[in-house]
């Protein structure tokens, strides 16, 4: 009797498995797209006509679509066709993707700088990013960017970038400060490869010229007043992305590791490496809340140079601190904020946030004890507002006010497009 029962169960299981294997996708249909090409969506999707119907694979496809700049939301439907075959419908809600960008920042020292640009995030209907920006930070600068992650296949793409940035940068040495006119002109080519749904790699070369011209401040015979150095940079970016998006809300974990090796033609700016990892963690809090976190940890070659690569900057890591107030060869920065939807109707969202930006740096030529030195630690709590358009990609106008509570603190506003992180 026991053997008959086992045989019967195995038979039922076999018939069930056979029925499952026979559930085939008859066709993948795309709905709701206007500018995005249906052929592009089908090309990057795992589900194909003739493949096995698998809800887990479909859900991964939908999550990939929701990460695209051109998609504000996506969902799927499955309908029977014939002979145990099914039609799968991917329903797309598109973003408007021709987007101006703007960043403005000030401090109580009356510093003022801005960056304005225009980017198309769905160029040719294939989720290619193409555009550029103009920056005014005492001097004029510009950049042009092209990024096509699926240019050659659903795994292989290309990015090309050119920038010509000129700023006035402080240089710190022997407890003194000097200001230099700094220019960085570069050309970059990156290959983009997506291993799978969550993991991808950017790898390439950057050729650039750095030019330093002394303006005013302290001088030293050990610090040149004029430098013009040609450099090559090997760059690698590895990303693990397990984020899920629902309009303005984000949940999940993401890690991005950047590594660069730079060769130089001048001993004053020797060869060096720089590497850092950004860890992101987002959690939904109730129906209207979102807790957002970014932890950056980085190190570079520990040369005792006034031109150290990591900077303390208002628009990069600590809101309200000022425009490049210090430099270092190591960095630990934690940004944490609570975002709360105050009002939402149709396409419009008003979001408030309370944040704490904190960080510490290793001095050039210093040691790891510098991270705990009181004068290296910056802590800036603050408040902000976000005006969000749910149907336009990255259409988030932000204003934040940070007020330092540590030694020699400043305070100031930071304006911009997009979330701070």
Measured CA to CA in angstroms, residue 235 lies from 141, 206, 265 at distances of 23, 7, 18
Note the pLDDT of residue 7.
60
Verify that 85 and 191 share a domain, yes or no.
no
Q: 78: domain CATH number?
A: 3.10.20.310
Q: What is the pLDDT of residue 121?
A: 94
User: In this predicted structure, what is the pLDDT of residue 108?
Assistant: 46
Please give the share of the chain, as a percent, with pLDDT higher than 70: 93
Q: How would you label 262-286 residue by residue, b for 16+ Cβ within 10 Å and e otherwise?
A: bebeeeebeebebebebbbbbeeee
pLDDT of residue 10: 55
Phi then psi for residue 246, to 5 deg, are -135, 90
Are 187 and 318 members of one domain? yes
Q: What is the mean pLDDT of residues 258-274?
A: 86
Number of domains in the chain: 2
Cα→Cα distances 88→56, 60, 244, Å: 13, 14, 21
Same domain, 88 and 132: no
Residue 174 has pLDDT above 60, yes or no: yes
Write down the mean pLDDT value for the chain: 89
> pLDDT at position 147, please?
97
Among the candidates 75, 93, 111, a domain finishes at 93
In sequence order, what are the beta bridge partners of 185?
Answer: 164, 209
∠ CA 330-336-340 to the nearest 5 degrees? 160
Clarify whether residues 10 and 159 are in a common domain: no
H/E stretch holding 279: strand 272-285
106 and 85 fall within a common domain: no
**Does 277 have pLDDT greater than 60?**
yes
Of 67, 93, 119, the position where a domain reaches its end is 93
- pLDDT confidence of residue 12: 56
Confidence of residue 15 (pLDDT cuts 50, 70, 90): very low
User: Residue 322 — pLDDT band, cuts 50, 70, 90?
Assistant: confident
62/178 same-domain check:
no
- The total number of residues shown for the chain amounts to 421
82 has pLDDT over 50? yes
Same domain, 58 and 117: no
pLDDT confidence bin for 79, thresholds 50/70/90: very high
Residue 408 has pLDDT above 80, yes or no: yes
The pairing of beta strand 85-94 with beta strand 310-312: unpaired
**Greater model confidence, 110 or 160:** 160
Distance CA 368, CA 362 (A): 6
Give the model confidence (pLDDT) of 240-262 as tens digits: 999 998 889 999 999 999 999 99
Residue 323 has pLDDT above 90, yes or no: no
Provide the pLDDT for residue 18.
Answer: 46
pLDDT at position 395 over 70: yes
For the cut 70, the answer to whether the pLDDT of residue 5 exceeds it is no
Kindly provide the residue ranges of all beta strands, DSSP E only, lying in 286-347, ordered along the sequence.
289-300, 310-312, 326-328, 330-345
Same domain, 64 and 170: no
Q: Is the pLDDT of residue 34 over 80?
A: yes
pLDDT over 80 at 226, yes or no? yes
pLDDT at residue 150 is higher than 90: yes
Check whether residue 133 and residue 174 sit in a common domain.
Answer: yes
Compute the average pLDDT of residues 326-330: 88
Q: Is residue 276 domain-shared with residue 406, that is, in the same domain? A: yes
Burial (CB < 10 A; 0-12, 13-18, 19+), residue 211, is middle
**Which residues 6+ apart lie within 8 Å of 222 measured at CB?**
173
Last residue of a domain, one of 45, 66, 93: 93
Q: Residue 123 pLDDT more than 60?
A: yes
Q: Report d(CA 38, CA 80) in Å as an integer.
A: 21
Q: N- to C-terminal Cα distance for the chain?
A: 65
- Whether residues 106 and 19 share a domain: the answer is no
> Which CATH number is 214's domain given?
2.40.160.50
pTM of the full structure: 0.78
The encoded tokens of residue 242 equal: 């397990």
- Structural domain boundaries, residue 115: 98-417
Read off the pLDDT band of 2 (50, 70, 90). low
The predicted structure's pLDDT at residue 1? 56
Q: Does 298 share its domain with 386?
A: yes
Q: Go through 243-252 and write b for each residue having 16 or more CB atoms within 10 A of its CB, e for each that does not.
A: bebebbbbbe
Per-residue pLDDT at 162 exceeds 60: yes
CA 2/CA 282 separation, integer angstroms? 52
The reported pLDDT for the residue numbered 315 is: 80
* Residue 382, C-beta contacts closer than 8 angstroms, at least 6 positions apart: 319, 320, 354, 355, 356, 357, 400, 401, 402, 403
pLDDT digits (tens, 9 = 90+) for 355-375: 999 999 999 989 999 999 998
> Is residue 16 pLDDT above 50, yes or no?
no
* pLDDT at position 168: 87
Which whole-number Å values give the CA distances from 385 to 342, 343, 350, 388, 391, in the listed order? Answer: 10, 12, 7, 10, 19
């Amino acid at each position: 009797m026991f053997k008959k029962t086992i045989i019967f169960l195995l038979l039922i299981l076999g018939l069930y498995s056979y029925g499952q294997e026979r559930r085939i996708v008859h066709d993948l249909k795309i709905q709701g797209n206007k500018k995005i090409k249906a052929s592009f969506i089908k090309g990057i999707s795992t589900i194909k006509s003739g493949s096995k119907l698998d809800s887990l694979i479909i859900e991964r496809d939908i999550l990939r679509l929701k990460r695209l700049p051109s998609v504000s939301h996506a969902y799927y439907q499955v309908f029977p066709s014939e002979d145990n075959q099914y039609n799968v419908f991917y329903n797309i809600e598109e973003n408007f993707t021709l987007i101006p960008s703007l960043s403005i920042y000030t401090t109580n020292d009356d510093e003022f700088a801005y960056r304005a640009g225009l980017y198309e995030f769905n160029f040719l209907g294939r989720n290619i990013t193409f555009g550029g920006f103009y920056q005014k930070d005492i001097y004029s600068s510009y950049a042009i960017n092209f990024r096509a992650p699926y240019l050659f296949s659903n795994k292989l793409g290309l990015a090309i970038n050119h920038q010509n940035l000129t700023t006035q940068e402080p240089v710190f040495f022997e407890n003194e400060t000097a200001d230099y006119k700094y220019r960085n002109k570069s050309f970059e080519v990156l290959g983009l490869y997506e291993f799978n749904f969550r993991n991808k790699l950017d790898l390439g070369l950057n050729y650039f010229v750095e030019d330093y011209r002394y303006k005013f401040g302290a001088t030293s015979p050990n610090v040149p007043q004029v430098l013009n150095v040609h450099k090559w940079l090997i760059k690698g970016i590895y990303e693990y992305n397990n984020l899920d998006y629902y309009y303005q809300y984000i949940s999940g974990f993401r890690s991005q590791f950047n590594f660069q090796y730079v060769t130089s033609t001048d001993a004053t700016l020797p060869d060096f490496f720089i590497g850092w990892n950004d860890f992101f963690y987002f959690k939904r809090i109730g129906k209207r809340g979102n807790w957002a976190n970014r932890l950056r940890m980085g190190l570079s070659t520990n040369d005792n140079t006034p031109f150290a690569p990591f900077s303390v900057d208002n628009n990069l890591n600590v809101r309200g601190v000022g425009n490049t107030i210090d430099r270092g060869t190591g960095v630990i920065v934690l940004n944490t904020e609570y975002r709360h939807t105050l009002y939402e109707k149709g396409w419009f969202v008003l979001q408030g946030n309370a944040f704490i930006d904190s960080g510490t740096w290793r001095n050039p030529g210093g040691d790891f004890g510098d991270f705990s030195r009181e004068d290296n630690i910056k802590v800036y709590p603050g408040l902000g507002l976000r005006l969000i358009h749910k149907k336009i990609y990255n259409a988030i106008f932000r204003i934040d006010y940070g007020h330092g509570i540590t030694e020699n603190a400043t305070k100031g506003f930071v304006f911009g497009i997009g979330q701070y992180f």
